[in-house]
Amino acid sequence: MRHLKGRLHKAADEKVAAYTSSLPFDWRLYRQDIAGSIAHARMLAKQGIISESDSVLIVQGLESIQQEIEQGKFEFKAELEDIHMAIEARLIEKTGEVGGKLHTARSRNDQIALDLRLYIREVIAQTINSIRELQRALVNLAEANMDVVIPGYTHLQPAQPVLLAHHLLAYFEMLQRDISRLKCSRKRVDVLPLGSGAMAGVAYNVDRDFLSRELGFDQVSQNSLDAVSDRDFVLEYEAAASIGMMHLSRLAEEVILWSSAEFGFIELDEAFATGSSIMPQKKNPDVAELVRGKTGRVYGNLMALLTTMKALPLSYNRDLQEDKEGLFDTVDTLLASLDICTGMIATLKVNTENAAKAMGRGYLLATDLADYLVRKGEAFRNAHEIVGRLVSYAVKEGKSLAELSFAEYSNFSPLFDKDVYTITIESSLAARDTVGGTAPKRVAQALADAKKTLGQGS
């Protein structure tokens, strides 16, 4: 009976271990964990909490463990529930009782908070780098196609001529905001939680400023209960990533539209499209579709952690362990999606012929015609009405605006003069000569500014 109970218990223990263990995913934090422990060991020695020689042994042990992990020689034992225990257990194997001193004046609660902050700090830098690469690809594509005009769309209906470069630089701006947002968030990541202990602070004469300097933090946390309970910095990264993926989903949508047979503005490189064995001319934008589709998981990860954090009493609760898998998935997805978009944009070809053909659809210069009347003295709302009637007439007659005779123009307003025929796509573009407008010289300036931004690095 006792034996049976033992076995049953064993089964339960295994199930529970599988359910609660974070080692299968938090092993990814080994570098951060070791870096944090090395700083901690040095601080303990500096403060006389452990001896200098113990500290040296611990640091050496940790460094050799890092090597073991990076060389694939480290055994991640399933029974150790997290990366902290896995590393500490190995350290004790290597250094004996000395290793058992490392955890003095520390708890897994402040330790994991530290590891995550170190991780996100790195990830923010990587994300910014990847965004820069995509910006570079957009700028290059814009620069190589400065003379290409496409319809500017509202409601997916052609509205006014714009430079393709102008359209591409709109994404440059979105990505610029992504970088700005990430940089801002660093301020709230860059806070050392170590020294908060389990949640009340530690009963040792630790030097938190030393730790902070060693690990390159800006500040130390000001409240121990908060420090072990806080995951704002994870949420803030996930929120920024969600907005970033939203931007990529818009880019992906346009790539899909533009590479459709109906639009045909661009042709994807073979490397970034999937062919059909049977329709080899067909280039499916699978990559762009996946970028668009993966937006869902990044949103989902944000929603997941927001849900998990809702209504948790202080301080540390095991629920917090659920912060990591979603974060890792978001980081992996965002970095890969940025990278893949960079390649896709860098290699696609613009089909100028189809772009030109699209300019013939719609009466893209109607707004310019109204602006013309306003400049001749008509009130804005009246000018719109007059042009509306004129375009209606042209549609009925099956004529383009250029094909209307001067007499026809004059029927609609006495303000029309012969110079009405000087309204062209080129004049329309040139007229949008304000900061942020699509006038070629403004776009050239925006491009130059963008290159300067990229040149300066992040």
Site for a copy of itself in 197-236 (CB under 8 A): 197-206, 208, 220-227, 229-230, 232, 235-236
Site for a copy of itself in 43-62 (CB under 8 A): none
Nearer to a copy of itself, 73 or 336 (CB): 336
What is the C-alpha to C-alpha distance for residues 27 and 170, in angstroms, rounded to an integer? Answer: 39
Site for a copy of itself in 374-413 (CB under 8 A): 374, 379-382, 384-385, 387-389, 391-392, 395
Q: Which of 260, 400, 410, 458 binds a copy of itself (CB under 8 A)?
A: 260
The minimum distance between CB 410 and a copy of itself, in angstroms, equals 19
Q: Quick check: 320 and 231 in contact, CB under 8 A? A: yes
Q: Which of 1, 3, 4, 154 binds a copy of itself (CB under 8 A)?
A: 154
- Is 276 one of the annotated active-site residues of the chain? yes
Q: Among 311, 338, 293, which residue's Cα sits nearest to residue 132?
A: 338
Q: Which of 435, 452, 455, 457 binds a copy of itself (CB under 8 A)?
A: 435
306 touches a copy of itself by CB under 8 A:
yes
Nearer to a copy of itself, 88 or 115 (CB): 88
Nearer to a copy of itself, 67 or 79 (CB): 79
What is the C-alpha to C-alpha distance for residues 299 and 149, in angstroms, rounded to an integer? Answer: 35
Cβ count near 95 (within 10 Å): 19
* Active-site position among 53, 180, 276, 400: 276
Q: Quick check: 144 and 166 in contact, CB under 8 A? A: no
Q: Which of 117, 132, 292, 324 binds a copy of itself (CB under 8 A)?
A: 292
Nearer to a copy of itself, 67 or 216 (CB): 216
What is the C-alpha to C-alpha distance for residues 361 and 373, in angstroms, rounded to an integer? Answer: 23
The amino acid that residue 183 corresponds to is: K
Contact range with a copy of itself by CB under 8 A, out of 17-25, 30-38, 119-127, 411-419: 17-25
Q: Among 135, 382, 340, which residue's Cα sits nearest to residue 255?
A: 340
Contact range with a copy of itself by CB under 8 A, out of 62-70, 71-79, 414-422, 426-434: 426-434
SS3 30: helix
The minimum distance between CB 417 and a copy of itself, in angstroms, equals 17
Q: Which of 2, 71, 72, 311 binds a copy of itself (CB under 8 A)?
A: 311
Cβ count near 262 (within 10 Å): 8
187 touches a copy of itself by CB under 8 A:
yes
Give the pairing type, strands 266-267 and 349-350.
antiparallel
CB burial string 162-176: b at 16+ within 10 A, e below: bbbbbbbbbbbebbe
What's the helix, strand, coil split of the chain in %, to 5? 70, 5, 25
95 touches a copy of itself by CB under 8 A:
no
Site for a copy of itself in 325-344 (CB under 8 A): 325-326, 336-337, 339-340, 343
| Residue 308, CA distances (Å) to 228, 305, 387, 400 in order | 15, 5, 57, 60
Cα–chain center distance at 151? 28
- Is 3 one of the annotated active-site residues of the chain? no
Catalytic residues: 155, 276
